[in-house]
Structure 1
Amino acid sequence: MRNLCLSLCFLFFIKSWCQQVKNDTLTRLDEIILTEEVISKKAVGITPSSAIGTETFERFNPVDIPSGINQISGVYVLSGALNTNRITIRGVGARTPFGTDKLRLYFNGIPVTNGTGFSTIEAFDLENLGSLEVIKGPKGTAYGANLGGAILLNTKLAREGTTRLGNNFTAGSYGMFKNNVSVSHQDKGFGIKVSYNRLETDGFRQNNRFVRDGILVNSNLALSSKSTLGILVNHIDYNAQIPSSLGETDFREDPRRAAANWLAARGFEANKYTLTGLYHHYQITDKLKNTTSVFYTYLDKNEPRPFNILEEITNGFGLRSLFEGNFGKAEYVLGGELYKDEYEWSTFRNLFRDRDGDGSFRGNQISENKEFRTQLNLFGTLTYPFSAQFSAQMGLTYNKTDYDFRDLFNTGADNTSAERNFDDILLPSFGLRYTFANGNIYANVSRGFSNPSLEETLTPDGIINPDIAQETGTSYELGSKINLFDRKLVIGATLYRMDIKNLLVAQRVGEDQFVGRNAGETRHQGLELDAKYQIPIAKKILLSPYIGYTLNDHRFVDFVDGDADFSGNPLTGVPRHRISSGIDFMYMEGLRASLTHLYVDEIPLTDANTLQSEAFHVFNTRLNYRTPIGKHFSLGLNFGANNLFNTRFAQSVLINANSFGGAEPRYFYPGNDRNYFGGVRLGYLF
């Protein structure tokens, strides 16, 4: 509570300071260029969503995707490392041990979530993104109706009629070096962007070095006045050392340490990931258009770990087709998405203990497996305007998911091959929106689901669990967005409740063994508030404070684990209060300064609520300056500092961590201490 009060005092200071502007300066609105971004919405029809763009990304270090996403109320990214991010939306996904699941991730309209529902946002370079849009909860009928929702990533596009060459260079603490060079061209019939980026950093902790190379190609060609063909290629190759989590003693005394077993094994993961897509837009008639994409993904992963060495290869491919049209006053969307992947994985003994400090060494093979996974989504929405102000939308999603597991290592009675075909599921959605002069109000009721992860479908012995079921839930949402004072003040508020049944729980039973089961019901309810105020200070100066507040009242309704009854306890892994706030200062001759603040409340770390992480405040700042140099060149300079007050905090946590070999349970991933970065941006406009 003390930390929450400090956060509110900070916001009160911002508000009070802003209100000290003389009244006559507020009449100069016509002399200032407002900088509110216009982001093209991808969510279908009247489906509400939240979006951030380059204005938000440029408040932070260009390697810091989590801080940008954490500006969105209701969304929280826990980041154990650059390659270990867990995105939770309204508490969904908070119980996942590692990585992001229970939502769908799309890149330029192409699905990049794998066959069991896992997404890796770290596969994309922040400096290539033009926008990130979040549909919270299962109301995204056209994007899978997952309980967590959907995240839509879109690349930056060049302005029509321009050709531009740009290079962004950034250096910072922990030996960080990043460079992104790109060339883009756009005219009426052809557009292309090619970008190459490289990132190197030693990291804050031991065994924390990260090296990544990436290339992005995005191109479109107008075949006719009605037809456009596009191609997308995104490839990354990275090697990331893994410091892993820490126990409470190490976290408090020396957060730079790596976990002892991971340090001894010099654990790391090496990933080669490629996404290729071909998409086609066709204007069939004046009232009907189609977008169809075919895509292929490839992942080659090698991860030496203290308990074994994991080698993975995933080949994924699919098709997505979307028809958009209108019938009279009604607008409709019909489509489908088929995704199939083949996941092969093998484990080997790690003989690092016999290597006298030389790190991991591959021993005898322990397992060899292959799984074929298929997911089919069919969907449709109908939006009908009863008047210019009042609209309704109905949606329906159909999902069918199948897993086919092959044990390629064991034979005879020891072979564990099996299939798991989930029941067909229908997921309806219904929404209303009323628009008035200064804003709108909306309501939505929708049903969603989540598939179990790979670990949750298998027992510790590698046998398909025939009893595991999909999570299902119903979401109720009421929200409003209001513009006041000639649109200088924008306020948004949302109330929601989501009841989830067949809660999926990944229970850790060994150092690298989890067993999944359906463990009862949870109730997710909360409040999300957002406000942004643009205050003209002088002829070319604009001040813009903002705040996002999230209240999470998430609880187990029915959760019995053996002899322990956790019913009524707060949901593990979710902070009750969270605030993202800040202030932007803009001088219209190219100068911008940003101060950002994040408050995260205590997080329950055990289902019994016997241990919590500490609440924390983190402040970051960045200064940007841009200016043209002659007719064709432009120069940009930036400097920033993260964690200004050198706060010790857990940037990510594990829940229900167990102790092995007499060591402390390892709950905490330390956040970086105070660190700095600076960069130079050069541009040439042909």
Structure 2
Amino acid sequence: MFRFFLLSGLLLGSVPLLAQTLPAPDTTRTVLLPETTVTGYGQQLPLRRTAASIGVIDARVISQFNQPSLTAAVNTLPGVRLEERATASYRLSMRGSTLRSPFGVRNVKVYYNDIPFTEASGSTPLNLLDPAIIGRMEVVKGPAGSAYGAGTGGAVLFSTHRPAAGSTRAQAGFTSGSFGLRRYTVAAESSTETTSWRAQYARQTLNGYRQQSALRREVVALDGELTPSSQRSVALHLLYTNLDYQLPGGLTLAQFQQNPRQARPNSPAGPGTVAQQAAYRSRTALVGGTHEYRFTSRLVNKTTLYLSGSVISTPFLVDYERNTMLGVGGRTTFRYQSSLAGQALRLAVGAELQGSFENSRNYTNLGGTPGPLRYDDEIRTGTGFGFAQADWDLPAGWLLTLGASYNRLTYHIARVSDAAARPDAYRFERRFRPEISPRVALLKEVTPGISAYASVSTGFSPPTEEEIRPSDGSLNANLQAERGTSYELGTRGQLFHNRLRFDVSVFDFELRQTIVTRSNAQGTALFSNSGATRQLGAEVAASGWLWQPAQSDEGTSNVPHPETGLQAWASYTYNHFRFRGYQQGSNDFSGNRLTGTAPHTLSAGLNASLRQGFYLTPSLAHQARLPLNDANTTFARGYWTFAARGGWHQVLRQHLELDVFAGIENATDRRYSLGNDLNAFGNRYYQPAPGRNYYGGATVGWRW
């Protein structure tokens, strides 16, 4: 029986609030704060009316940190961890999903401007996105089956910048920093009553903190929207990324302590990453369009279609992969508003389909060049789901949400050539049993500014193509889909006359057929089902103004200035995650801590700004020690890091925008590993994070 508990002391809140202005009250009235509207589970509702654990960050939050990486900004969200095993090699964890993500993003569904960004195979190339193009990131934590299909980790909704109505602007920026950082950005945008468009280019190069960790990334993003009538709107999006980054590889503890900047060295088992020129290179294009049509004031349809293509070249320690992939898909949603028993009723029903074809060729890696062909696979993947949801406003401030989705997934793998010449390996088909994932939630508005909710949701997460077919050429026919059920309680709102916003949630997530990972001598990640895990946790955070200067208001001086002052924020996550019924050979790991998950994480900081344009945003981050293997015999040490960014931003003569900034990261030069390799062969667990580093730059823009 799950036991929900309340946290003592001050209720803390959601870091989405970092992106908002929280004006202090004057002596005669309470200032009403603007609502944050979230997409959530498919309905446009205020955050306080959404019965789910949702976090939001926007461009303002991202700009408070070093913009070459999303890591620090995303990690301000409680329950969410973004790590970099190598430069731009992201691994995203939501409530413990790191366990099955040795690289890339698994178990989480990602969308980009309403376009399904997670591939049909289940993997998400998050490294294709540059922080400069992101205008908003909304995170739905836990099983999101009622609107986003299969997945037990959650969903992430990215959207790009939208030009302000009636504005035209051009902007250029440059950043230089430690370890050879060079970054250039150019953007132009315009908006009228019926049209808007934005074009952006970002280029980033980095020599890297470690050997074999250089990066080059170029991103082009084009976005346009046309509203020919009050009933119709059309949006078009293009994303192109040319990405090339090196892979330094994992180190043993002795190597990490001796020299954290080294790459994986040569050993009796074989050459290291420098000798093999280990790297990841890709060119990817994504084109998508969305059409929204209002049949009536109550019935709306939104339909999105997309096409994507990728060419990938990846020399690993042993093999050299060359992959070509094409993806296609779409999503449609009908929303209808009515009433039931005199109360508002909102209905949503829709479907999503994705398909992909991939030609994956694996060669022997001869010092960074392809050698003899090992095998050549043609992979077809098809996935889809239908969903429905109802939100019913009940009397006395209650809101009932019911939803469900029906999911399907099929893999077809044809081995065109196989060095082992095994006849049974030439054809492989895997159809996962269709699953229905229901969700029910109940919310109560306790006061006009505080709400509380409870929810029960289920999730279904089938293996990705990389898990079914790892890079050693094996075909894992026995790997099963994960299934989980989440029970959650939460509350959010405002305290002290709107000076403080808070959000707190507690959950019990029970996962069956949990997918775990280990690596072999060649560094290949292999996957298996562990049995089950139970994941209990609490997520809390807060933000609010400590001080704001007054501004003149018709002869008075007691109205707070909306954009200046001193704001504090903090987020904390507690995880009590354990294996259940996990037997590996003769070893019983039942009761062990979940591999790769820290019991405590903390992120906090201050945002200080003056009317003259000066600003300073110091921050700190903490992660407790965590187990690196399922046996819990080896742990990564906990760490604290400190960072700060400051500068001067001003608009001169109402047209010229200037932003001059500088910052420091890992100010105490802490030696730690971020993005550890779990259950690594040869105890090569550690991926050292950069030491103390500096950056600075400027952005110049012009408004018309």
Q: Above 0.5 in TM-score?
A: yes
Counterpart selection for 2:306 from 277, 282, 295: 295
Instruction: Give the match's secondary structure for 1:408.
Output: strand
Corresponding residue for residue 308 of structure 1: 319
CA distance in 2, matches of 1:522, 1:480: 26
Is contact 2:179–2:206 with CA below 8 Å preserved after alignment? Answer: yes
C-alpha deviations, 1:284-333, integer Å up to 9, x for none?
A: 11101111011011111101222011111111100100111112221011
**Does the alignment pair 1:406 with 2:414?**
yes
* 2:530 aligned to which of 509, 513, 519: 519
Separation in structure 1 between the aligned mates of residue 242 and residue 439 of structure 2, nearest angstrom: 40
Matched residues in 2 for 1:460 and 1:162: separation? 49
Q: Which residue of 246, 257, 264 maps to 1:259?
A: 264
1:99 deviates by 1.4
How far did 1:460 drift?
Answer: 8.2
Equivalent of residue 599 in structure 1, options 605, 622, 631 = 622
Q: CA deviation at 1:142?
A: 1.2
Paired residue total:
651
Partner of residue 170, structure 1: 175
Return the alpha-carbon distance in structure 1 between the equivalents of residues 30 and 703 of structure 2. Answer: 26
1: CA distance, partners of 2:376 / 2:572: 47
Matched residues in 2 for 1:509 and 1:391: separation? 50
Q: State the secondary structure of the residue aligned to 1:650.
A: coil
How far apart are the structure 2 equivalents of 1:85 and 1:267?
17
For residue 332 of structure 1, what is the amino acid of its counterpart? L
* CA-atom RMSD in angstroms: 2.2
Question: 8 Å contact 2:317–2:523 — kept in the other structure?
Answer: no
SS at match of 2:132: helix
**What is the match of residue 13 of structure 2?**
none
| Unmatched runs of 5 consecutive residues or more in structure 2 | 1-22, 44-49, 266-271, 551-560
**1:537 positional shift:** 4.6
Q: Which moved more, 1:450-459 or 1:618-627?
A: 450-459
Amino acid at match of 2:604: S
Distance 1:643 1:567, change over 3 A: same
Deviates more, 1:191-200 or 1:466-475: 466-475
List per-residue Cα deviations over 1:241-282 (Å, max 9, x = no partner). 111221111211211111120011222111101111011011
Aligned with residue 210 of structure 1, among 212, 215, 220: 215
Tell me the equivalent position of 2:16.
none
Shift in CA distance, 361/92, structure 1 to aligned 2, threshold 3 Å: closer
Matches within 5 A, 1:555-566: 555-566=578-589
Amino acid of the structure 2 residue aligned with 1:550: T
**Corresponding letter in the other structure for 1:629:** L
Match runs of 1:265-276 below 5 Å:
265-276=276-287
Contact 2:25 2:498 survives alignment (8 Å):
no
Contact 2:523 2:681 in 1 (8 A): no
Equivalent residue number for residue 554 of structure 2? none
Q: Does 1:69 align with 2:69?
A: no
Q: Tell me which moved more, 218-227 or 669-678.
A: 218-227
Q: Which of 370, 377, 380 does residue 369 from structure 1 map onto? A: 377
1:635 Cα deviation from its structure 2 partner: 0.8
- Which residue of structure 1 aligns with residue 360 of structure 2? 345
* Deviations 1:623-642, CA, capped at 9 Å, x for gaps: 13211122321111111100
Closer, same or farther: CA 522–28 of 1 in aligned 2, 3 Å: same
* 1:393 correspondence with 2:401: yes
* Residue 27 of structure 1, CA deviation: 6.8
Which amino acid in the other structure matches residue 375 of structure 1?
T
Match of 1:439 among 428, 442, 450: 450
- Whether the 8 Å contact between 2:99 and 2:516 is mirrored in structure 1 is no
2:491 aligned with 1:483: no
Unaligned runs of at least 5 residues, structure 1 = 1-24, 353-359, 660-664
Distance 2:474 2:371 in 1: 24
In the other structure, the counterpart of 2:345 is 330
| Contact 2:189–2:199 (CA under 8 A) maintained in structure 1 | yes
- Tell me: CA distance 1:114–1:29, structure 2 relative to 1, closer, same or farther (3 Å): farther
Structure 2 distance, partners of 1:133, 1:177, is: 29
Q: What's the CA shift string for 1:149-189, capped at 9, x where partnerless? A: 00111111111111111112111111111111111111111
- Given the superposition, is the C-alpha separation of residues 94 and 588 from structure 1 closer, same or farther in structure 2, using an over 3 Å criterion? farther
Q: Distance in 2 between matches of 1:76 and 1:249?
A: 26
Tell me the distance in 1 between the aligned counterparts of 2:94 and 2:493: 23
Aligned mates of 1:440, 1:559 — CA distance in 2: 39
1:374 maps to amino acid? G
Partner of 2:94: 89
SS in 2 for 1:252: helix
**Cα distance change of structure 1 residues 590 and 34 upon mapping to structure 2, 3 Å threshold:** farther
TM-score of the pair, normalised by structure 1: 0.91
CA distance in 1, matches of 2:301, 2:197: 22
* Matching residue's letter, 1:680: A
Residue 426 of structure 1 is matched in structure 2 by 436
Aligned residue in 1 for 2:18? none
What is the deviation of 1:140? 5.2
Alignment of 1:586 with 2:602, yes or no, is no
What code does the residue aligned with 2:199 have? Answer: V
Q: Greater CA deviation, 505-514 or 290-299?
A: 505-514
Question: Does 2:686 match 1:678?
Answer: no
- Distance in 2, Cα, partners of 1:31 & 1:509: 65
Contact 2:238 / 2:287 at 8 angstroms: preserved in 1? Answer: yes
Is the 8 Å Cα contact of residues 459 and 485 (structure 2) preserved in structure 1? yes
Identity %: 26
The match for 2:672 is 649
Cα deviation for residue 591 of structure 1 reads 2.2
Deviations 1:638-660 (A, max 9, x none): 1110011111111110111112x
Distance 1:160 1:386, change over 3 A: same
Alignment equivalent of 2:290, drawn from 279, 297, 301? 279
Give the Cα separation in 2 of the matches to 1:628 and 1:513: 52
Q: 2:231 aligns with which of 226, 229, 232?
A: 226
- In structure 1, how many angstroms separate the alpha carbons of the residues matched to 2:189 and 2:471? 50
For the residues of structure 2 that align with 1:519 and 1:130, how far apart are their CA atoms? 39
Distance verdict in 2 for CA 1:73–1:30, change over 3 Å = farther
The answer to whether the 8 A contact 2:348-2:388 is kept is yes
CA contact (8 A) 1:455 1:516 kept: no
Post-superposition Cα deviations, 1:390-449, rounded to whole Å, max 9, x if no partner, equal: 100000111000000110103672643110001010000001111122211011100001
Give the CA deviation at 1:39.
6.0
Please tell me the residue identity of whatever aligns with 2:467.
E
TM-aligned CA distance change 1:568 to 1:29, over 3 Å: farther
3-state DSSP of counterpart to 2:627: coil
Moved more, 576-585 or 498-507: 498-507
Aligned with 1:554: secondary structure? Answer: strand
What amino acid maps onto 1:407 in structure 2? Answer: R
1:568 is the counterpart of 2:591: yes
Q: Give the corresponding residue for 1:533.
A: 544
Quote the offset at 1:38 in angstroms. Answer: 4.9
Pick closer, same or farther for the CA change 1:391–1:347 going to 2, 3 Å: same
Q: Which has the higher contact order (CA 8 A, sep 6+)?
A: 2
Q: Does 1:548 align with 2:571?
A: yes
Q: 2:42 aligns with which of 36, 41, 44?
A: 44
- After TM superposition, give the deviation of residue 351 of structure 1 in Å: 2.0
Which residue identity does 1:148 align to in structure 2?
A: G
Q: Which residue of 2 aligns with 1:667?
A: 685
Aligned to 1:241: 246
**Aligned counterpart, 2:654:** 631
1:155 maps to amino acid? T
Bigger Cα displacement from structure 2, 615-624 vs 221-230? 221-230
Distance (whole Å) between structure 2 residues aligned to residue 524 and residue 28 of structure 1: 44
> Which whole-Å CA distance do the structure 2 matches of 1:51 and 1:177 have between them?
29
SS class of match (1:424)? strand
TM-score by length of 2: 0.89
CA separation in 1, counterparts of 2:372 and 2:104? 28
